[in-house]
Structures are given as C-alpha cells and as structure tokens.
C-alpha cells in the first residue's frame, strides 16, 4: 500500500490503473466553433473527393487495362493459378508519364480455378504504347512466379467497366 501527500487515498498496484479523469475533463472543455467545424467538414469532403477521383482515374486508365488484360491472358499467370478467372486491381498503384514515355505499377488480385494470388506488375510506356516490363505473382500457397517478359503483346487495352 502506498500513502503519500499527493495521493490522499490508499493505492494498491500501479498508478496507471485508474481512468484518466483529468484528460477526459480537459477534452470535454475544448470546444470548436461552428465555423471551424464547417471548414473542417469542407476540407474533409474535398480530401475524400480527391481520393475517389484518383481511384477512378487509376482504374479506368489504359495502363490498368493493359495490366488486367495481361494478368488474365498471360501463360505463366494462367499456369500458376490454374486459369485466371478474374483479375482485380488493388488500391495500390502508380502511374507516371510525360508525353509518349512513362511507367506504371500496380498490385492486383488474381483468382484462378486452383488458387489465388497477389501480383505486382510494372509497365513501361514507349512511343505511346504500354507494355508489361515485368512482375511477380505470389500465390496463396506461397509460390513466387517471376514474370520477366510478356508471353504475348498486351498493349491493346480491353474494355474496363
């Protein structure tokens, strides 16, 4: 038992066992003006819209279509998962290009008849055409398949819904 001048009650155990009453009182005392709340809400909406627009742009882009087409039709990917029935982009993706040159990288989920996996894929843009530069597929069972060059030409995008 501990009895000190700063703690008038008898204490057993650690000092951290009590609820932070002082912090709760302090947080309740903080008030935000209605104008500040509206401003915060406005900036929050703008932030969410920027994320959503970026996501829509990425998913509807030509490099994303090329990457999805590649994942669904490449022989190495098909052999690894047992025939890719479905490929879906993840939230992770980057697109950078200027003029006719550039690069893009995506992470996507590939689902097949035998297994599923996560695929990292990198594309290059040369003279206005997107081609797969390479990638890696990691199946759910832990197999790693390196993709060094495309098995077929994939610079023609498929329709993206």
Stated length of the chain = 161
Residue among 111, 103, 68, 113 nearest 89 (CA)? 68
pTM given for the model:
0.61
Conformation bin of residue 120: beta by default, left when phi > 0, alpha when psi is -120 to 50: beta
Query: Residue 9's pLDDT is what?
Result: 56
Domain ranges of the chain: 17-58, 60-147
Question: Per-residue confidence at 7, pLDDT binned at 50, 70, 90?
Answer: low
Query: Residue 60's pLDDT is what?
Result: 78
């Amino acid at each position: 038992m501990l009895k000190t001048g700063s703690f008038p009650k008898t204490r057993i155990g650690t000092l951290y066992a009590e609820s932070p009453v002082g912090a709760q009182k302090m947080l309740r005392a903080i008030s935000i003006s209605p104008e500040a709340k509206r401003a915060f809400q406005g900036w929050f909406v703008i932030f969410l819209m920027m994320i959503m627009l970026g996501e829509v742009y990425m998913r509807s882009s030509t490099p994303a279509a090329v990457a999805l087409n590649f994942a669904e039709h490449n022989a190495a990917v098909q052999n690894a998962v047992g025939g890719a029935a479905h490929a879906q982009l993840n939230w992770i993706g980057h697109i950078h290009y200027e003029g006719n040159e550039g690069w893009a990288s995506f992470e996507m989920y590939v689902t097949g008849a035998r297994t599923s996996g996560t695929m990292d894929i990198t594309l290059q843009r040369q003279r206005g055409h997107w081609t797969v530069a390479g990638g890696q597929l990691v199946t759910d069972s832990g197999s790693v398949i390196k993709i060094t060059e495309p098995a077929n030409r994939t610079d023609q995008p498929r329709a993206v819904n």
